[in-house]
Amino acid sequence: MEIFGRPLSAMLSQLLLGLVNGSFYAILSLGLAVIFGLLNVINFAHGALFMLGAVLAWMGLEYLGVNYWVMLFAAPLIVALLGIVIERLFLKRIYKLDHLYGLLLTLGLTLVIEGVLRSFYGVSGLPYSAPEALSGATDLGFMVLPNYRAWVVLASLVVCVGTWYVIERTKLGAYLRAGTENPRLVEAFGVNVPLMVTLTYGFGVALAAFAGVLAAPVIQISPLMGQNLIIVVFAVVVIGGMGSILGSILTGLGLGIIEGFTKVFYPEASSTVVFVIMAIVLLFRPAGLFGKEK
């Protein structure tokens, strides 16, 4: 059986691979959406913190002998702490200013973090193997899927759905959403909004680090690994609608799949297809697919 002149099995395998890449997009854009929703900050440091998560995983194994599973939780925690420091030291001073200041500040942080690691480790990257339990591959008939990639999809779906549930369905989430709408009113009800904002930023960047540890065995760990990804992820957030939680998850997965198919039909365009879609979406829905017009 063939679709557009390509065998069905090839299409199925591309669908699956697209889903794997989409999972990374989903976690990363989710973090960005959460941060933008409450802090109104366009967090350009997201890619660098994603990379930091991966580098921490490598450091844990290399210097301390700490395995993947421990680092999967430890690295996001460390990055969350760093995020809290960043928020307290820098970000909280610029909430009243234009978006541009947040963007410049976080871009500056990115350059510092990437530059420091580049001078230590170069750009070729550091080797990191998938954990023993997930190392093999499963033959699905139409393709051989490394078990680790299947785990990436599973882990990111669990994290995404969990985050969505907390924000949309729990009391804590209700506070968060109310804080987004009208921080002063929420504060009048006795909720500590500044603390909530700090923790939200910490959580958002922890998601980035989590994705980083997930990516460590897949992409060679290098100070550059966040750069390419983050531009795409920003496009994902714009397409999904700034600040929309569900929108960013669905768009992330969807665009991963579209990108996957592009790699079959016209591979040269695979790095641009996301931006073409972004332009089209912005033409017809300036607030993004799931965003609300203000």
Partner 1 sequence: MKLTLKPLAIALAAATLAVSAQAQEKVKIGFITDMSSLYADVEGKWGASAIQMAIDDFGGKVLGQPIELLTADHQNKPDIAASKGREWIDTQGVTLLFGGTNSGTALASAKVAAEKKRVYINNGAGSSALTNEQCTPYTVHYAYDTVALAKGTGSAVVDSGGKSWFFLTADYAFGHALETDTATVVKAHGGQVLGTVRHPLNASDFSSFLLQAQSSKAQILGLANAGGDTINSIKAAKEFGITKSMKLAGLLVFISDIHSLGLKDTEGLLLTTSWYWDLNDDTRKFANRFFEKNKRMPTSVQAADYSATMTYLKAVQAVKTADADKVMAQMKSTKIDDFYASGMIRPDGRFVHDMYLMQVKSPAESKKPWDYYKMVAKLPGDKVFTAKADSKCALWK
Cβ 215 to partner 1 shortest distance, Å: 9
Closest separation between CB of residue 284 and partner 1, Å?
A: 27
Question: Taking contact as CB under 8 A, which single stretch among the options 64-72, 124-132, 275-283, 286-294 is the one that binds partner 1?
Answer: 124-132
Rounded Cα distance between 52 and 294, Å, is 35
DSSP class of residue 63 equals I
Please tell me the distance from the alpha carbon of residue 87 to that of residue 10, in angstroms, as a whole number.
46
What are the phi and psi torsion angles at 219 (to 5°)?
Answer: -105, 145
Kindly tell me which residue out of 19, 159, 214, 224 binds partner 1, with binding defined by CB under 8 A.
Answer: 224
Separation of alpha carbons 209 and 291, rounded Å: 26
Q: Which of 99-107, 169-177, 240-248, 267-275 is the region at the interface with partner 1 (rule: CB under 8 A)?
A: 267-275
- The stretch near partner 1 (CB under 8 A) out of 161-169, 187-195, 198-206, 218-226 is 218-226
Among 74, 173, 271, 287, interactor with partner 1 by CB under 8 A: 271
Considering the rule CB under 8 A, would residue 46 count as an interface residue with partner 1? no
Q: From residue 152 to residue 191, what is the string marking binding to partner 1 with x (rule CB under 8 A)?
A: ----------------------------------------
For partner 1, which residue of 199, 218, 242, 249 counts as binding (CB under 8 A)?
218
Eight-state DSSP code of residue 222? -
267 contacts partner 1 (rule: CB under 8 A): yes
- Site for partner 1 (CB under 8 A): how many residues? 38
Pair 31, 202: CB distance under 8 Å:
no
When the beta carbons of 200 and 222 are compared against partner 1, the nearer one is 222
One-letter identity of residue 230: I
Q: Which of 104, 125, 155, 285 binds partner 1 (CB under 8 A)?
A: 125
What is the greatest pairwise CA distance in the chain? 63
Nearest to 176 by CA among 205, 149, 198, 206: 198
Q: Which of 127, 140, 280, 286 binds partner 1 (CB under 8 A)?
A: 127
d(CA 30, CA 276): 21
Nearer CB in complex with partner 1: 126/281: 126
Nearest Cα to 260, choosing from 163, 149, 162?
149
Cβ-count burial of 113 within 10 angstroms (0-12 exposed, 13-18 middle, 19+ buried)?
A: buried
Q: What is the DSSP string of 156-187?
A: HHHHHHHHHHHHHHSHHHHHHHHHHH-HHHHH
Asked if 26 touches partner 1 (CB under 8 A), the answer is no
Considering only the stretches 71-79, 92-100, 123-131, 284-292, report the one whose residues sit in contact with partner 1 under the rule CB under 8 A: 123-131
Tokens of residue 191, six digits: 């909720």
**Residue 7 binds to partner 1 (criterion: CB under 8 A):** yes
Q: Taking the alpha carbons of 86, 116, 52, 76 in that order, is the dihedral positive or negative?
A: negative
Residues making contact with partner 1 (CB under 8 A) = 7, 10, 13-14, 17-18, 20-21, 118, 122-127, 130, 137, 143-144, 146, 148-149, 218-220, 222, 224-225, 228-229, 260, 263-264, 267-268, 270-272
